[in-house]
Amino acid sequence: MKVLFSLLLVLVIASPSLCSKVRESNIPNAFNIGNYGAKGDGHTDDSNSFLKAWKDACSSTKDTPTLIVPADKIFMTQPLTFQGPCKSATMNVTISGTITAPPNCEHWKSNGNDHDSWITFSHISGLVVNGGGTLNAQGDSWWDKSSSHRPTAVRFLGCNNLKHGPMTHLNSPRNHISITGCDDVLISNVNLTAPETSPNTDGVDISSSTKVFIEHSTISTGDDCVAINSGSKFINITNVNCGPGHGISVGSLGKNGEYSTVEEVYVSDIIFTRTTNGARIKTWEGGSGYARKIIYNNITLDGVKNPVIIDQQYDALQYAGKGVKISDVTFRNFRGTTKDKIAIKLNCCSIGCTNIVLEEINISGLNGERSSSSCKNAHGSSSSCNPTVTCLNN
């Protein structure tokens, strides 16, 4: 008996996938795509197997239905939409293996959805997408095309009470994850990766969503690690390693004169490494609305070009006297290095930015050089701030 037990223990330790397979087989009310004809050879189009399994899972009312993508296989699919609402109040999608998009953009086929994405989860309440697997969008063949023609890798649309992670996302044609029209979202333990030179490959884009939490994740892409867009409020981002990329941004807001709003944003315990920006708020001159009640706290900087930047005149010059109002913004406890001489840039238009607070800031050059700040039409206060910000009351 002891010999048998020892042999089983060795097999489990030597083969983590065996553990995964045992767990998968013990899941009640499971819908394994392998039972629906999926090959998992990395070449065969397994889209129909996914959709058939989802149809049965979404129609089930027993326990919590679970769609299973098994370990140790690579499943290639065309664009897919997992459509809700489902009959069960909760749904699980457990991805232990790898799902990959077609290897070249010329091989992609439209599935008729309106959202320009590879994988869409639409209007599914109580959705959990986890499993520790990999979603490889194979976006490199898209990167030389116009951004308006490139798809998002994974879109969550109208999904309330959503949990995602652990999961690895690779090489999206555009942004890796879009959260649109969702309420009560937790994104945790995700790893989002694309080359630093890949265009517009944001990590997570948030729009028209509330109570979104992003935590304990690593995001290394060619654009914003997280972009918080209009209609978003109560956003909490903590314990994220960001870089390379363009930082964690509110906006851009107010493009083409639009009315845009973002409020109640808390960003804390972030490490920015070799990013273009750290904490950034960007709004178009000529827009309207507001960005307010925003806090960046406890931030570590390693060779960041623009550690602190507010740009109320983002990419526009012709609308003097009108803009998105920026107020009640705090930057607290920033420490580290910048690779640019100007560490803090507060560029506000004629309507001004109000109640901008900087506290406990210590940013120097890569070799210990003293950094500087630039400031226009910003109003507020600063204390224990290096570099000093002359337009704020000290």
List active site positions: 223, 246
Q: How far apart are CA 286 and CA 199, in angstroms?
A: 26
Cβ neighbors of 131 (< 8 A, separation 6 or more) are 69, 93, 94, 95, 96, 166, 167
Say how far apart CA 189 and CA 359 lie, in whole Å. Answer: 30
Q: How many residues are recorded in the chain?
A: 394
Give me the DSSP letters along 272-329. EES-SEEEEEEE-BT-EEEEEEEEEEEEEEEEESEEEEEETTTT--S-TT-B-EEEEE
CB atoms within 10 A of CB 107: 13
Q: Distances in Å between the alpha carbon of 30 and those of 92, 251, 330?
A: 9, 40, 47
CA distance 363 to 383: 14
Structure tokens at 36: 């629906």
- Which residues, listed in sequence order, are joined to residue 266 by a DSSP beta bridge? 236, 295
